[in-house]
A = this chain, B = another copy of it.
Amino acid sequence: MSRTEISTLGEFGLIDRLTAGIKPANASTACGIGDDCAVLHYPDKEVLVTTDLLLEGVHFDLTYVPLKHLGYKAVMVNLSDVCAMNGTPRQITVSLGISKRFSVEDIEQLYAGMRLACEHAHVDIVGGDTTSSLTGLTISITAIGEADKDAVCYRSGARETDLICVTGNLGAAYAGLQLLEREKAVLQGTTKDVQPDFAGREYILQRQLMPEARLDVIQALAAAGIRPTAMMDISDGLSSELLHICRQSHVGCRLYEEHIPLDYQTAAMAEELNMNVITFALNGGEDYELLFTVPLSDYERVQDIKDVRIVGHITKPELGSMLVTRDGTEMELQAQGFTAFAPQLDE
């Protein structure tokens, strides 16, 4: 693959090359890239805004994450935050800090992943900033979306007797991370160019490298006429996120271990590492599934939605926030969340 230095294009040349052919897909995008601001048009909706900062060495490791996957994931995790408000993402801005290690072709790969995620979700790239960096790659993305005023779901709306629901299955992204970390350690101990064997583990790798924001579930909930009372996306593990909802809603909860959805590959990976798979689901990060609560009266309607599982219920606050294990024991939920912050600053 050829290598073009970014200095041969300059900032504007690079931006032109990355954004060539971008056409707005949303009516709310009045003006995209090319002026001091993007101009958006939201006359009848609430506007949702979220932002994430991703730093090389802290949030991603390019020794095992391909740039295209990184771009895809960086976008999806922001779109997931818009879904978590029961909203539909419409626009993103992308800021990049790029060190000399990266060629134009590298950044094109990264951007290709971002554009692919945007295509999948019908989202427009409307602006950003591109600059040099002294060390590594920095990615900052802001996502903008919309929701009807009475559809917006906050963390604070869960009420006693509400059902606790999750989408998909949990712990898979963390299992994928464990696999990649282990293979990296193995490879660093050898001089041979051994390709790691990922056969039969494609699903957990996919979940780690290319997560999907659950726009499909947001649409299914709307189609079923269900408005969750509280909602979040699961980025730091189910335990930590459920505790956020309980704290902000001033309620307690019962979460049933036996109902937590797990994939076979996640369980197999945990077993191989002599770890408890429930720990992956409770404290592993980056699943980007949705956690939400619905009134008990929605029991049947929510059961009919594909890929949604009821995992517990909301209680009075004085009953605490408890995990009920398979043998019926109640244990207090712990927020041992996976965060990019704690391991770095605490070490």
Residue contact B36 to A233, C-beta cutoff 8 Å: yes
Give Cα A39–Cα B35 distance, bound, in whole angstroms: 25
Residue contact B129 to A36, C-beta cutoff 8 Å: no
Given contacts A97-B55, A138-B138, A248-B34, contact A49 B340 (CB under 8 A): no
A298 at the interface (CB under 8 A from B): no
Give Cα A100–Cα B59 distance, bound, in whole angstroms: 16
Give Cα A35–Cα B134 distance, bound, in whole angstroms: 33
Given contacts A39-B152, A85-B36, contact A131 B49 (CB under 8 A): no
Give Cα A100–Cα B133 distance, bound, in whole angstroms: 19
A53 at the interface (CB under 8 A from B): yes
A254 at the interface (CB under 8 A from B): no
Q: Which residue of B lies closest to A38 (CB)?
A: B49
Residue contact B57 to A140, C-beta cutoff 8 Å: no
A82 at the interface (CB under 8 A from B): yes
Residue contact A345 to B6, C-beta cutoff 8 Å: yes
Residue contact A51 to B345, C-beta cutoff 8 Å: no
Residue contact B46 to A39, C-beta cutoff 8 Å: yes
Give Cα A232–Cα B52 distance, bound, in whole angstroms: 27
Q: How far is the CB of A346 from chain B (nearest CB, A)?
A: 5
A144 at the interface (CB under 8 A from B): yes
**Which residue of B49, B97, B138, B152 is within 8 Å of A144 (Cβ)?**
B49
Q: Which residues of B contact A128 (CB under 8 A)?
A: 51
Q: What are 14 A-B interface contacts by the 8 Å CB criterion?
A: A7-B346, A10-B345, A11-B339, A36-B231, A38-B48, A47-B144, A49-B126, A49-B127, A51-B128, A53-B96, A58-B131, A97-B138, A132-B341, A135-B136
- 7 A-B pairs with least C-beta separation: A132-B344, A140-B140, A36-B84, A11-B341, A53-B95, A37-B48, A40-B47
